[in-house]
A and B are shown apart, each in its own frame.
Chain A
């Protein structure tokens, strides 16, 4: 499968715990995006990488959130001290120029 992949697909955690998600983009894509989607809403932009450089961060991305793309390939999104409001689907997308292709997402449930 040469599409965008994400792991894990589901994560249940207790409030206050840290979680980390991984995204593997389409191999030739140099741009990688993280979005968050809650029920009944469209995806909301979180952050964007071009190669290993993080070029933009949404104001939605509080200090508890950090993302990396150390070698310009896969990316990780970490949430520290999770809160119930962090429960959502976390989507990763990659692109070369315009078209963004999404991964299957990681569904986070904070109890």
Chain B
């Protein structure tokens, strides 16, 4: 099955700095890559996603890039704020909408210091 690796496991940045989280996947058939934010004790919240026919997608301070050849994708958060502090999970779906099963990375604990 699909294997998703996520780095780093923890990331600390100063407010206003940028944060980058990277993920790699193993199954070249994967074609849907969402990112989730999970605050302590809360549900995973979908913050952005990208499909394999797109190389980059941006939504305000958040962007995701995808390199299909290298089988890696990254989350970029600019102008970080303390409320961005949370655990971020990347995921991959091997067959897109056909089945929709998601394989998740192990998460990155992001801490933004004021």
Residues in A27-84 with C-beta less than 8 Å from chain B:
31, 33, 35, 40-45, 48, 55-56
Cα-based distance from A34 to B49 in the complex (angstroms): 20
Contact B44 A102, beta carbon cutoff 8 Å: yes
Within 8 A of A (CB), among B80-103: 89, 91, 93, 96-97, 99-103
Contact (Cβ within 8 A) B102 A97:
no
A98 CA to B101 CA in the complex, in Å? 10
* Chain A residues touching B, range: 20 to 34
B99:A48 contact, CB within 8 angstroms:
yes
The total of chain B residues at the interface (CB under 8 A) is: 26
Give the total number of A-B pairs whose CB atoms are below 8 A apart. Answer: 61
Q: List residues of chain B with CB within 8 A of the CB of A56.
A: 99, 101
A56 to B101 CA separation, bound complex (whole angstroms): 9
Which residue of chain B is the closest to A45 with respect to CB atoms?
B101
Decide: A42 near B104, CB < 8 A? Known: A91-B43, A100-B46, A104-B42.
Answer: yes
A31 surroundings in chain B (CB, below 8 A):
100
Residues on A lying within 8 angstroms of B by beta carbon are 4, 31, 33, 35, 40-45, 48, 55-56, 91, 95, 97-105
Given contacts A42-B91, A42-B104, A44-B104, 12 further A-B contacts (CB under 8 A): A4-B43, A40-B107, A42-B4, A42-B89, A42-B106, A45-B102, A45-B103, A55-B99, A98-B51, A100-B46, A102-B45, A105-B43
